[in-house]
Amino acid sequence: MKESIMANTELHYKTITDLAILLKKQEVSPVEVTETILSRIDDLDSRYKSYATVMADHAMRAAKRAEEEIRKGHYKGPLHGVPVAVKDLCFTDGVRTMGGAKVMENHIPTFDSTVVSRLSAAGSVLLGKLNLTEGAMGGYNPSFDVPLNPWNTDRWAGASSSGSGVSTALGLCYGSLGSDTGGSIRFPAAACGTVGLKPTWGRVSRYGILALAESLDHVGPLTRSSADAAIMLKAIAGPDLNDPTALSAPVPDMLSDIDSGVKGIRIGLDEQYVTDGVDPELSRAVLDGVKILESLGATIVDIKMPAVDRYMPFWRTLCTAEALAEHKSFYPSRRDDYGPYFREWLDIGSGVSGVDYVEANNQRNECNGLIRLAMQPIDVIACPSTIEPAHPITIEQMYGPIDKNRDPSYQRFTVPYDYNGYPTLSVPCGFNSEGLPLSLQFVGHPLSEALLCKVGHAYESATSWFLMHPSF
């Protein structure tokens, strides 16, 4: 079913940035806002299936606490009193965390993940846990609800952070957390028309988060603007004694420079990379976006990207082997309790030898080195987030066996930046002739998330795509 488009006016479609102003001035209350969103979840999510668990009582307690704190002048910042949600692989004390997998259906953590703790410390209101494809991998498990794309319910909502994309696009939260191992923040952001920020690997602690592949996993926000992504990242990022892989680098004020424009920022463009094998309407929108940034003062630099497609098969070797290590408590003893897609993923991992893994890692390092060289003269790469707009959901459901029916280049714009851990920002850049969202991706050097958000914010300030949402 195709939905129509309208601009951002209602309370539930406010950006975090705009809502924070209202909350700080006490023109609306956290309780009022939270009740509005919970009511909307009640009205819509039985159809759109974005939530695995709605934590209504918990949310109302947090909203009342935030309201009292703000009333007394103890304002904590732009997330204070703002309803958010997290992908259902983030541990929540006393609340089931399933990871989209039957083997985890009775898993009730006894502590919060670091990201949940930090969102709480920022004063946000946690609405609940969001659905995902099984194990944070792609492919549908017939035992679990499939989140539906709010722009067209016959189209893919992205994976694996599908509930994060749907809930954020549909005004069922103001921002959400997802994870990205091969594209799982960027695919839902692109399919659902939201912003998706995949930070530098290690920028955000993964303590208390179910892993798919530890060397590839990233945690980051999906929001309705680049400034909102900056706000959420600032809240969750930074060193963590509970996660030795979390980077020690301090997190800057993500908003202090966001309005300074893009003059002098060097944006790399490889037109062949952007157009070959890419949906023509999508590549045209990306090139138009680059022209807009040039008109705002950015310097466009011609670059030559490496032939990244040849490195894509090695991601499967790495990811399946690492996923098998993560699921050793359940596989193969409970193999039949997995859905068909993830079960096969683990089966493939069980056949990966040590030599296979080392060779795949060598190829990953080679790809990383080539991209590093291509990026030497620039600050940011501009490219699509995906090779096409959201495809029919029937195609996704028929894949079953891994990659046998799928275009092997579909991860061309995602996997390379999971390989190297570089930060990326996906922003809406239009709609195609069928009314499906199109998405432009910016790729930066390590720890350049603030710069990416500044570029995204400048693009949004010159366009209105990020303000568009389904007309209900």
* Catalytic sites, residue numbers: 87, 160, 184
Is the separation of the CB atoms in 157 and 191 below 8 Å?
yes
Is the separation of the CB atoms in 254 and 220 below 8 Å?
no
Is the separation of the CB atoms in 127 and 59 below 8 Å?
yes
Q: Count other C-beta atoms under 10 Å from residue 447's C-beta.
A: 19
For β-strands 437-444 and 424-431, DSSP reports them as antiparallel
CA triplet 19, 30, 86: central angle to 5 degrees?
80
Strand partners, 85: 176
| Burial class of residue 361 (count of CB atoms within 10 Å of its CB; 0-12, 13-18, 19+) | middle
Cβ neighbors of 373 (< 8 A, separation 6 or more) are none
Q: Which amino acid is located at 324 in the chain?
A: L
Measured on CA atoms in the order 211, 363, 403, 439, is the torsion positive or negative? positive
Cβ neighbors of 433 (< 8 A, separation 6 or more) are 281
The overall longest dimension of the chain from CA atoms, in Å, is 62
Cα 217 off chain centre by: 12
